[in-house]
Chains A and B, each alone.
Chain A
Amino acid sequence: EIVLTQSPVTLSLSPGERATLSCRASQSISSTYLAWYQQKPGQSPRLLIYGASTRATGIPDRFSGSGSGTDFTLTISRLEPEDFAVYYCQQYGRSVPHTFGQGTNLEIK
């Protein structure tokens, strides 16, 4: 099983700042199969990024993804008030189980 470890667990920033979230895999995964989701309180997860760097439909361009192998990053260039949420990375595709990271809570400072 591929274990995904996200860091930091909690990130405290202010609107307008840049956020950098990390996701590290226990073994190399194809960048084709790495996704990021956003979850706000009381809501379902929303797909933000897939294929490590492709934004999903309707996702603003302040969200970007990068990385390869075992290290992946989600960057939010300038935080908007609606961006404060929990973010999960996930590996999907041929490797089962389709594991999620434990999440990073992006909170307002």
Chain B
Amino acid sequence: EVQLVESGGGLVQPGRSLRLSCAASGFIFEDYAMHWVRQVPGKGLEWVSDINWSSSYIVYADSVKGRFTISRDNAKNSLYLQMNSLRDEDTALYYCAKDMSEKGLGPFDMWGQGTMVTVSS
């Protein structure tokens, strides 16, 4: 069974850091690009970042550029999102999602259940 399981969310103060993880199983992780997408509860979806299969191509949304870092460890079948200098507006449910392609040119054909990040003092 193809599965993505996020972890690492929680309550954090503004300006602090948090690292999210996404454990993948049921498919050949190193063959696919991966994404992070976030959603404020009750609101729409916002793409955050993606990384291709080899980590040679990484892009970010302007809203997180310079503060968030995406990475992956293909040996551990894991995707990460290091979030620094967190702001109130980063509060959201964070999903990891699998791309249909290795280069990040495909749609997102599998999503995890999400991990909630709450930034508040």
Q: Is the interface of A mostly helix, strand, loop or mixed?
A: loop
Contacts of B114 in A (CB 8 A): 44
B104-121 contacts to A, CB under 8 A, are: 105-114
Q: Binary interface profile of A, 75-109, with partner B (CB < 8 Å = 1, else 0)?
A: 00000000000001010111011111111000000
A45 close to chain B: CB less than 8 A: yes
Whole-angstrom CA separation of A88 from B37 in the bound complex: 13
B72 close to chain A: CB less than 8 A: no
A46 close to chain B: CB less than 8 A: yes
Whole-angstrom CA separation of A6 from B113 in the bound complex: 25
B11 close to chain A: CB less than 8 A: no
* Contact count A vs B, C-beta below 8 Å: 57
Tell me how many residues of B have a C-beta within 8 Å of chain A.
21
Assess the B106–A92 pair: CB atoms within 8 A. Answer: yes
Contacts of A90 in B (CB 8 A): 45, 47, 107-108
B26 close to chain A: CB less than 8 A: no
Assess the A56–B109 pair: CB atoms within 8 A. Answer: yes
Q: Binary interface profile of A, 26-42, with partner B (CB < 8 Å = 1, else 0)?
A: 00000001010101000
Q: Which of A35, A96, A103 has the most CB of B within 10 A?
A: A96
